[in-house]
């Protein structure tokens, strides 16, 4: 290939600079996968190919290093079929090598030729793991930004779908992409996001959730998630058309949908694909589950210990009978069981699937039965805690589910102090807190129902 040869001839030695080969060898000195292979000579000077064995495609290197690559150098170089060719100094070459490219340089030249021969290691496109649906597209994002971009573009075939890209991380050099739909996005939001991203100074970044934390770092700590983290291209495309911005980072299969308000976390992508009546029913069901999850244990504490007279007499008597022989106060008893169920949930999530079912069985059934027989907690509480655990799994968004798990302890504490009023006070505080939060200029409590699409 004439271009390569011509470019190699142009690689010259700068009088005051250290040769690139030496710098690269020094930089990658203790990296066992680093190779600096001698591939021939040009004008009496040795020509080296530097690359990382682990990142560079061995198939693509075949033209230079393969067993059947005999012949003179110009013949071998003419078989190069890679896309593009760049010349660069040490820093650029170093980054290129780290990204999987190979660098061609003469022994004493101060610059090298970057051959993009990277072979990205990635899994195939699969089904979503955290956002299961029964109706709708079944593909999910993977860890490759290019593949994810393709998945989004396959959903929106329009030139109005824009993508702004930058690199973040002094060590990781992670590619970050910001997608938006030109006719729908608020320009203020877009420029604000671009400014914020440009201001980020960090060593490395691994996941989009981590990126969100960095993006929000100038704000005070927030308990609630401020952006939906999704792995579904269909959800991303819907959000783009609603005027939201999507941020994705290379290496993470999750996209951030910005801004996201509280009610967004309660909508499943599936809602768009089923009958609207069913959607409303499901939405009601989810909110009902949220209330049960937040308030049921607290109501148990309030109605059996402080506001006994609020309940019907029969229920109060039944509750008192079920607590007969239980040595602990209601608050301690409830706290014990809530923590226990959280242990079981966490164990079930972290363990391999084959073992987790056993843990759930042992924890849920055996431990539950044993704990009642040992008179440590009441029968009624087991029902309450089981209902609480089930309703927690109805929460669509994983992060919101985690927040709910924390909040129920806060409300139980309120109930144990002031009974029903304590619950109402905690709930009011929660609403007050939510009404004070803003996510990228949008109030978190914007509306109870999603706005109609801006783009039709």
Partner 1 sequence: MKRLSTLSGYDMLAIQMLYKGAVAGFIYPNFIIRSTEGAYWIPIAVWAAGALLSSWIFSRLLAQLNGEKLIAGIHASIGGIWTCVICLPVIFFLLTALVVMLRAYTEVITMTMLPTTPIAFLNGMLIAPAILALAGMMPIVRAARVFFLLTLLLTLVLLIVGLSDVHWITGAPWIRTNGDFLLDKRFYAASFIWMGFVITSLIGPHTRHSARRNWKMYSAALLCTLPLIMGYIYLPVMTFGRELSKRLTFPFISKMDSISHYWILFENLTAIFVSVTMFYLFIVIALKLHAIGEMVAVIMPRANKRWIHSGAFLVVYASATLLVSWRVVENITILTIGLRLYVMFVFPLFGLLALAYGRRAGKEGAL
| Minimum CB distance to partner 1 smaller for 201 or for 312 | 312
Residues that bind partner 1 (CB under 8 A): 306-307, 309-313, 418-421, 423-425, 428-429, 431-432, 434-436, 443, 445, 448
C-beta of 326: minimal distance to partner 1 in Å? 23
| Minimum CB distance to partner 1 smaller for 69 or for 442 | 442
Q: What is the token pair recorded at 436?
A: 């004070």
| Minimum CB distance to partner 1 smaller for 252 or for 304 | 304
- The DSSP call for residue 19 is P
Phi and psi at residue 28, to the nearest 5°: -105, 30
| Minimum CB distance to partner 1 smaller for 149 or for 442 | 442
**247 — alpha (psi -120 to 50), left (phi > 0) or beta?**
beta
C-beta of 299: minimal distance to partner 1 in Å? 11
C-beta of 287: minimal distance to partner 1 in Å? 12
C-beta of 158: minimal distance to partner 1 in Å? 30
| Minimum CB distance to partner 1 smaller for 39 or for 418 | 418
CB contact burial 388-399 (16+ within 10 A = b; e otherwise): bbebbebbbbeb
> How does DSSP assign 316-337, residue by residue?
HHHHHHHTTT--S-HHHHHHHH
Cα torsion 375, 376, 377, 382: sign: negative
C-beta of 423: minimal distance to partner 1 in Å? 8
C-beta of 436: minimal distance to partner 1 in Å? 4
Residue 276 CB coordination number (10 Å) = 9
Cβ atoms of 86 and 69 closer than 8 Å: no
> How does DSSP assign 170-201, residue by residue?
TTT-EEEEEEEETTTS-HHHHHHHHHHHHH--
Cα separation of 407 and 426, whole Å? 9
Cα separation of 433 and 426, whole Å? 10
| Minimum CB distance to partner 1 smaller for 123 or for 454 | 454
| Minimum CB distance to partner 1 smaller for 320 or for 366 | 320
Pairing of strands 174-181, 245-249: antiparallel
| Minimum CB distance to partner 1 smaller for 200 or for 417 | 417
CA 366 to chain centre: 35
CA 181 to chain centre: 22
| Minimum CB distance to partner 1 smaller for 238 or for 423 | 423
Contacts of 136 (CB under 8 A, 6+ apart): 234, 269, 270, 272, 273
C-beta of 292: minimal distance to partner 1 in Å? 14
| Minimum CB distance to partner 1 smaller for 128 or for 419 | 419
C-beta of 197: minimal distance to partner 1 in Å? 24
Contacts of 256 (CB under 8 A, 6+ apart): 208, 209, 211, 212, 227, 228, 229, 246, 247, 248
């Amino acid at each position: 290939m004439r271009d390569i040869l011509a470019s190699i001839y142009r690689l010259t030695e700068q009088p005051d600079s250290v040769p690139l080969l030496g710098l690269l060898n020094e930089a990658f000195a203790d990296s066992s996968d680093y190779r600096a292979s001698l591939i021939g000579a040009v004008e009496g000077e040795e020509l080296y190919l530097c690359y990382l064995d682990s990142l560079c495609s061995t198939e693509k290197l075949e033209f230079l290093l393969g067993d059947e690559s005999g012949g003179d150098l110009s013949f071998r170089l003419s078989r190069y079929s890679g896309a593009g060719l760049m010349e660069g100094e040490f820093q650029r070459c170093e980054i290129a090598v780290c990204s999987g490219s190979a660098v061609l340089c003469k022994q004493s030249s101060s610059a090298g030729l970057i051959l993009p021969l990277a072979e990205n290691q990635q899994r195939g496109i699969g089904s979503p793991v955290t956002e299961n649906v029964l109706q709708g597209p079944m593909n999910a994002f993977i860890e490759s930004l290019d593949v994810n971009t393709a998945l989004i573009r396959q959903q929106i075939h329009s030139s109005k779908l824009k993508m702004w890209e930058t690199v973040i991380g002094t060590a990781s050099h992670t590619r970050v992409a910001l997608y938006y739909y030109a006719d729908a996005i608020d320009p203020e939001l877009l420029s604000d996001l671009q400014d914020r991203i440009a201001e980020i100074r960090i060593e490395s970044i691994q996941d989009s959730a981590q990126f969100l934390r960095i993006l929000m770092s100038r704000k005070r700590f927030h308990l609630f998630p401020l952006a939906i983290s999704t792995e579904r291209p269909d959800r991303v495309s819907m959000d783009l058309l609603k005027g939201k911005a999507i941020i994705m980072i290379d290496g993470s299969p999750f996209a951030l949908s910005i801004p996201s308000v509280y009610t967004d976390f309660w909508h499943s992508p599936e809602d768009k694909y089923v009958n609207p009546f069913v959607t409303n029913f499901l939405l009601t069901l989810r909110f009902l589950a949220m209330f049960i999850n937040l308030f049921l244990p607290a109501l148990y504490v309030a109605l059996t210990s402080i506001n006994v007279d609020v309940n019907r007499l029969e229920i109060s008597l039944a509750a008192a009978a079920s607590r007969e022989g239980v040595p602990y106060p209601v608050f301690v008893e409830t706290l014990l069981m809530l923590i226990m169920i959280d242990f079981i949930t966490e164990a079930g999530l972290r363990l391999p699937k084959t073992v987790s079912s056993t843990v759930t069985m042992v924890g849920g059934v055996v431990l539950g039965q044993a704990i009642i027989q040992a008179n440590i907690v009441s029968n009624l509480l087991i029902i309450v805690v089981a209902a609480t655990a089930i309703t927690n799994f109805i929460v669509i968004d994983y992060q919101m589910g985690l927040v709910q798990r924390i909040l129920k302890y806060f409300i139980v504490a309120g109930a144990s102090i002031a009974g029903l009023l304590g619950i109402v006070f905690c709930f009011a505080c929660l609403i007050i807190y939510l009404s004070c939060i803003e996510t990228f200029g949008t109030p978190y409590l914007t509306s109870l129902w999603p706005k109609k699409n801006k783009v039709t």
